[in-house]
Amino acid sequence: MVDFKGEAFKIKEEIIRLRREIHSNPELGFEEWETAKLVANYLRSLGLEVQEGVAKTGVVAFLEGKSKEKVVGIRADMDALPIKEENDFDYKSKNEGVMHACGHDGHIAMVLGVAKVLSQFKRELEGSVKFIFQPNEEQFPSGAEAMIEEGVLEGVDGIFGIHVNPQLKVGSVGIKEGPIMAATDKFKIEVRGEGGHGAAPHRTVDAVIIAADIIQNLQSIVSRRVRPVEPIVLTIGRVCGGKSYNVIADKIEVEGTVRTVNPKLREEVPLLMEQTINGVTDIFGGGYQFDYQFGHSVLNNDKELTKLMEKVSRDIIGEAGTIILQNPLLAGEDFASYAKRIPGFFLHLGVSSPNQKVYPWHHSKFNLDEEALPLGTALLAKAAYEFLLEG
């Protein structure tokens, strides 16, 4: 039996080096040209069959084991975020205004580590492994959907993914059967009024006042029109409009996101929102345009793969570090696109450290404790091995 933890820790410094190199050169979705080149070159150095340019900047690699009759997929996302990094370590972002603030650099490095570990034991694999390095997880349209449209899931029997989680300590993982991450939708409201002089509001229809009332009343959907036990978040992330401090605005743009787990509720929310928007604008004599986009689906972990990962986690990190999550996270993930087509499992890897302040995902000072990276590599490698072994 392969000691996957031991093998992963043998290449710990290499995994960290890869992560730092990727971190210092972040690229936005569908622009991951240099990242893809690094990934492809590393995989070729291991002797894998590599395909570049999948869904523009994606990379797919194939590791052939004893047969091609059963194939397990392992996916990593490659894109960064449009955030200016405020960390001061020597491998911070060199690309102004772009940062790996969600840990995708760690995901790439860990999965490259998995490829190295498994390539050394390919003669013991009871099947083959497909490595999927995906662009554009952060934005719509989904990079996962683009990869799937180009056939990356053909012949794949099950798939694993991983995400670093700053809410969990190093040496622990979060595991949950069924829904583990929410559906993520996007909306935009254009509020229309009639502008005029700031000293004569009675001769105008103030779009700012209408927008403010809409924003307040939208929150009542969550607090008063949805069952309290239903997981739901409605967040306003952007409000923009107006021309001058002394001019009453005739148009305000409001953008935000809705997160749900219940598919039925997901379908109802846009209707509830439009009822609210229509009612408020009607009171003030204004108008509106409402655009609602359904994004990533709910991410559901397969029952059998969950059992497999629980067993793997207890073997690699022990009982104490194997945390069974009771509730889904309301962040979203386009790994859901893979998991709704074939059996999939998405693991949350603890990366917070008592020695440094923990910042959340998408923060300009987000960082992770690199001691977690070989553990993530070992968990994915052993899970893939066991998946192929169990048949």
Spatial distance between the Cα atoms of 213 and 68, rounded to a whole number of angstroms: 59
pLDDT score of 354: 84
- Interacting residues of 333 by C-beta distance below 8 A, sequence separation 6+: 137, 161, 163, 181, 296, 299, 346
- What is the C-alpha to C-alpha distance for residues 281 and 259, in angstroms, rounded to an integer? 25
Asked if 222 and 235 count as a contact pair (C-beta separation under 8 A), the reply is no
Contact at 8 Å (CB) between 291 and 188? yes
User: How many C-beta atoms lie closer than 10 Å to residue 236's C-beta?
Assistant: 16
Domain 4-181+298-390 classified CATH 3.40.630.10? yes
Residue 391: its pLDDT value, please?
65
Spell 31-61 as b/e; 16+ CB within 10 A means b.
bbeebbebbbebbeebebebebebbbbbbbb
**pLDDT score for 88:** 95
Task: Please report the pLDDT score of residue 1 as a whole number.
Answer: 81
Q: If one looks up domain 183-295 in CATH, what number appears?
A: 3.30.70.360
For the chain, the domains span 4-181+298-390, 183-295
> Are 72 and 127 spatial neighbours (Cβ–Cβ below 8 Å)?
yes
Q: Beta-strand (E) ranges in the chain?
A: 49-54, 58-63, 71-77, 128-134, 158-169, 173-175, 178-181, 183-192, 196-197, 232-241, 247-248, 251-260, 287-296, 299-301, 322-324, 344-352
Instruction: Give per-residue pLDDT as tens, 301-310.
Output: 999 999 999 9
Give the residues of the chain that fall short of pLDDT 70.
391
Q: What is the pTM of this model?
A: 0.95
Segment 354-367, tens digit of pLDDT: 888 889 999 999 99
